[in-house]
Amino acid sequence: MMPEGGMIVPGTIQPDLEHLVDEMPALDLSDVPAMRLALDGRAPRRVEDASGTGPSLVEIEGPAGSPRVPLRITCPDAARSRTRAAIIEIHGGGFVLGSAADNDAANRELANATDAVVVSVDYRLAPEHPHPAAVDDCYAALLWVAGRHLELGIDPARIGILGASAGAYLAATTALRARDQGGPALACQALLEPVLDNRCDTTSMQQGTDTVFWTRALAERSWELFLAGNRLDSRTIPARHPNLTGLPPTYLTVNELDPLRDQGLRYAERLRTAAVPVDLRQWHGTFHGFTMLDTAIGHTAIEALHAAMSVALAAQSTGQTA
């Protein structure tokens, strides 16, 4: 068990990750446009099979007065014999970096492993579009998927949501909004190395001054850019929400050498206290973003995600047929 508040000790990185640390991009959020250009096509990616068809691209109506929201829809390669589950996937990037296209290969792998239609959201990025633009876009995507389940060939009882890092904040917030506003019921939520609290006051965050890839300073800066001076109340910060009951079964991961670690551990404990089923995976000797690298521990983590989502989505099947 990895206790909250455990020391982040330099030199304890998994051996198969240690020699690849230099492949992780150096992030600088002082000039976001320049950082986006520097990362374009250069972020490390696990080796993927290049076969298979690409995603379908659609644009949906966003919140009133907002631009349309681009989605990328990836279907499994196998022929369909019944309705499928759907997974709404939300990319990470500290609220300011990345795009849905970055995860095309990973989403094709996810679709084939879970036999689910994966819908990736190209939400608006800060600082050009501060909170709540990204949250609104992700919730619009959930409403669209649920409202078009017949067209998409999916079982409306088997819609899950998946987010990594800042994408996990958006996934968690979307799940809370769906519950609070009587929106579509989610079969599960997967929160990977999640961003959950803008206070950045946990022990692991305080110790994360020189950690690999993601640091306390970057976390604080990303929140500044995302909030743009707006104050969030307790209902818009998952870790501070007063009521977590009625949320979907949750798969949640934390990395031992990640400043975000303790936020995830706290949220998992609060979910359990609220009687929400939680599958908590703690990856020892790992840092934020380690699954981007082609390593044994990275593949193990991704396979665990695929297995957990397959089980969670299958458990909610209504038995519908196409």
pLDDT in tens, 100-149: 999 999 999 999 999 999 999 999 999 999 999 999 999 999 999 999 99
| From 165, 204, 241, 279, active-site residue | 165
Question: Quick one: pLDDT band at residue 78, thresholds 50, 70, 90?
Answer: confident
Look at residue 48 and tell me whether its pLDDT is greater than 90: no
Average of per-residue pLDDT across 165-183? 97
Is residue 9 one of the residues assigned to a domain? no
pLDDT (0 to 100) of residue 44: 60
pLDDT (0 to 100) of residue 45: 54
**Is 258 considered catalytic here?**
yes
pLDDT (0 to 100) of residue 66: 86
pLDDT (0 to 100) of residue 76: 95
Is residue 30 one of the residues assigned to a domain? yes
Question: Quick one: pLDDT band at residue 241, thresholds 50, 70, 90?
Answer: very high
pTM of the model: 0.94
- Summarize pLDDT for 266-302 with one digit per residue, the tens: 999 999 999 999 999 999 999 999 999 999 999 999 9
Look at residue 236 and tell me whether its pLDDT is greater than 90: no
| CATH, residue 301 | 3.40.50.1820
**Is 288 considered catalytic here?**
yes
Is residue 171 one of the residues assigned to a domain? yes
172: containing domain = 15-44+52-314
Is residue 303 one of the residues assigned to a domain? yes
pLDDT (0 to 100) of residue 3: 59
How much is the mean pLDDT over the chain? Answer: 92
C-alpha–C-alpha distance, residues 302 and 277, integer Å:
20
Look at residue 47 and tell me whether its pLDDT is greater than 50: no
Question: Quick one: pLDDT band at residue 231, thresholds 50, 70, 90?
Answer: confident
**Is 165 considered catalytic here?**
yes
Cis peptide before 63 (omega within 30 of 0): no
Is residue 137 one of the residues assigned to a domain? yes
| % of the chain at pLDDT higher than 70 | 91
| From 91, 129, 149, 288, active-site residue | 288
Is residue 227 one of the residues assigned to a domain? yes
C-alpha–C-alpha distance, residues 215 and 102, integer Å:
22
Average of per-residue pLDDT across 224-250? 92
pLDDT (0 to 100) of residue 319: 52
Question: Quick one: pLDDT band at residue 233, thresholds 50, 70, 90?
Answer: confident
Average of per-residue pLDDT across 175-186? 97
- Summarize pLDDT for 209-220 with one digit per residue, the tens: 999 999 999 999
Provide the number of structural domains found in the chain. 1
| From 155, 258, 262, 279, active-site residue | 258
Is residue 322 one of the residues assigned to a domain? no
Query: Can you name the residues that pair with 254 across neighbouring β-strands?
Result: 282
pLDDT (0 to 100) of residue 298: 97
Is residue 25 one of the residues assigned to a domain? yes
pLDDT (0 to 100) of residue 318: 58
Average of per-residue pLDDT across 253-264? 98
